[in-house]
Chain A
Amino acid sequence: MTFAQPPAADQIEVSLFGPGKGECCVVHLGDGKWIIIDSCINSETGEPVALDYLSALGFNPDEAVLLIIATHWHDDHIGGIARVFGACPKADFCAANALTTKEFLAVTSPYEHRSLVPGGSGVKEIFEVMEQSAQFGRPLIRASPNRCVLKSSGSAHGRDIEITTLSPSDAQFEKFLADITSLMPEVRMTRRRPTPNLPNHLSVVTWISIGETSMLLGGDLEETSEADTGWSVIVGSTARPAGRATTYKVPHHGSDNAHSDEVWAKMLEEERFAVLTPYNRGHKKRPSSSDAKRICTLTPEAYVTAGIEGGRSRRRRSPVQRSIDEVLKEPLRLAEAATGCVRIRNEGRAGFEKWSVELFDPAMHLSRLYPP
């Protein structure tokens, strides 16, 4: 991918990357200052995509990144975030409050301790962040409902900047701890990888206000039928920041279990951009065809960073390929598509409410994901 021009000092940018063992959103706040939400690995370079991107635009992550937010704790969603943390020594790091608990650490630590599992322990990234934090004395920030985690003013665009976490709620916190106890290893239990398929009770949702302009980054938060968890508690909160967002990072890869009509009705502008990444590591593909249709009916400006399916695996030599074809009903494929990018920028001071979209291969309009 060639990203050409960096944003001007007074321009706002939201860029979403994925897939690549996770997704990553980078936001230019103005004046060459950035925040990074989650992380994924660039399928071309093997490096964290945020670091590649900032370097390609001529920014030094060492100086340019003010804040990193981890919305997840599992490696499959935050590939490379420990490297991002290490490369951005001036950035604060924000993660869900439940990760601070002894319970979470006690359950997940055995998975990371002397892990023998291919593809990593599943909790390596978050442990490495904590170890760096302990080693270098870099404090971490707890994400919790309606907590302001960054405030700034005096930018070239002349607007105040405020970044607020909207979740996880107290009830989500409790549910997560209850869920995760099912992973608690016992003596004589066979080692394995912690399952990535736990409900996303804990995901951090982020609200970014820059003057009158706002963005809602939904992490992977799922909707529930309960008033004190999921999206309902956020929509119903009287303490959440005022305003409506123009850009929405659709949660949980557009899945219907993360959809809330109320979010679209009460938290987003009439003219809004929806961006998302696909997920294809399990047997359920996200977004599904009906998910894509639903989102496209809610906004004509809906984009996805890549197709669902990874490309076909390389063909092996003849006897091996014959066996593969005999054993598998479907062809062997790469676990994910190549990493793509959707970039949304405004026009700076001269046109703060005017936005344009750029798609970097293999990103596409969401309506093209499942051609008729």
Chain B
Amino acid sequence: MSTALQSRDTVSPSGANQENSRDESQRAALIQLMAERAGANRNQETAPDTSEQQAEEFSSAPTTPRLQMQLPIFQSKPEAPRSIFIALQEWEGYVMDVREDVFTAILHDMTAAGDARGEKATLPLSDVSPDDLDLLREGAVFRWSIGYVREGRTKLRASQIVFRRLPQWTARDLKEANERALFLHESVRWE
């Protein structure tokens, strides 16, 4: 699950009903604490490599922007308009090269079975969230989504590029990979 939901579990394990009885100052403190935690998590280059996260990464479910996933937590009573992103088209891509104001990427259609060759796009850096710019490099993986943001009765067409925070390589990963390399090195016979 998202880092935001983990934060909520930590701060308020007993659920939403208890939240209703808190006074405004408690609510403000809670919101500030959660915002700080969510901010801290966003500032990490990558998310922690937990099994839950890996399961999420394998999922083909559309990527929802982090901010939008946090919105229900910040939702105050009475109901404020909720922003919901409805994806109409999504690609997953990897970066081939980066230039001054654009990057070239190979895209794979995640919405409909696409051509096996993939598609090639030159995307503007201005469409990448500032938070994600440090992840932009050759080989980096991202999701490009086109759809609508619905907020109350307003519906806006939107395009967003979200760089995937793939799991980090862990010491265990590298150890296993090294063992595999050694196995191949010793098993393959070269003439």
Which residue numbers of A lie inside 8 Å of B, CB to CB?
20-21, 41, 43, 46, 100-102, 105-106, 108-110, 112-114, 116-119, 122, 127, 130-131, 133-134, 137, 139-142, 185-197, 280-283, 310, 313, 316-317, 319-320, 322-324, 326-330, 332-336
Contacts and interface: CB of A to CB of B under 8 A. Distances in A.
Contacts of A335: 106, 117-120
Q: Which 10 A-B pairs have the closest CB atoms?
A: A105-B181, A134-B187, A193-B139, A192-B139, A109-B177, A118-B92, A110-B177, A191-B166, A109-B181, A113-B177
Nearest to B108: A118
A79 to B, nearest CB: 9
Given A102-B185, A190-B166, A310-B117, A197 B138 contact: yes
Of the candidates B120, B165, B173, B185, the one having the most CB atoms from chain A within 10 angstroms of its own CB is B120
B174 interface: yes
Contacts of A20: 117
A322 B104 CA distance: 20
B61 interface: no
A188 B169 contact: yes
Of the candidates B46, B54, B107, B119, the one having the most CB atoms from chain A within 10 angstroms of its own CB is B119
B21 to A, nearest CB: 41
A324 B88 CA distance: 12
A41 B115 CA distance: 12
Interface in B163-181: 165-171, 173-174, 176-178, 180-181
A197 B106 CA distance: 14
Contacts of A320: 88-89, 146
B19 interface: no
Of the candidates A109, A187, A197, A334, the one having the most CB atoms from chain B within 10 angstroms of its own CB is A109
Contacts of B141: 116-118, 191-193
B140 A192 contact: yes
A300 B122 CA distance: 35
Interface of B is mostly: mixed
Given A137-B189, A190-B45, A280-B120, A327 B159 contact: yes
Interface string B48-86: 000000100110000000000000000000000000000
B119 A332 contact: yes
B116 A100 contact: no
Contact of A329 (B122, B174, B184): B122
B140 A323 contact: no
A336 B117 contact: yes
A252 B117 CA distance: 20
Interface of B: 45-46, 54, 57-58, 88-89, 92-94, 96-97, 99, 102, 104, 106-108, 115-124, 127, 135, 137-141, 146, 148, 157-159, 165-171, 173-174, 176-178, 180-185, 187-191
A333 B119 CA distance: 6
Nearest to B172: A187
Contact of B184 (A127, A186, A192, A281): A127
A164 to B, nearest CB: 15
Contacts of B99: 283
Contacts of B174: 110, 185-187
Nearest to A97: B190
A141 to B, nearest CB: 5
Of the candidates A142, A188, A190, A192, the one having the most CB atoms from chain B within 10 angstroms of its own CB is A190
Contact of A334 (B119, B178, B182): B119
A252 B26 CA distance: 65
A21 B117 CA distance: 7
Contacts of B88: 317, 319-320
Contacts of B189: 133, 137, 139-140
Nearest to B58: A116
12 contacts: A105-B182, A106-B177, A116-B167, A122-B139, A139-B190, A141-B191, A190-B166, A191-B169, A192-B141, A193-B139, A323-B159, A334-B117
B96 A283 contact: yes
A323 B146 contact: yes
B120 A134 contact: no
A318 B117 CA distance: 24
A324 B146 contact: yes
Nearest to B94: A193
Given A188-B168, A283-B97, A336-B117, A195 B138 contact: yes
B139 A194 contact: yes
A80 B176 CA distance: 26
B45 A327 contact: no
B113 to A, nearest CB: 11
Contact of B89 (A43, A118, A191, A316): A316
B96 A187 contact: no
Contacts of A283: 96-97, 99, 104, 122
Given A110-B174, A192-B140, A197-B138, A328 B123 contact: yes
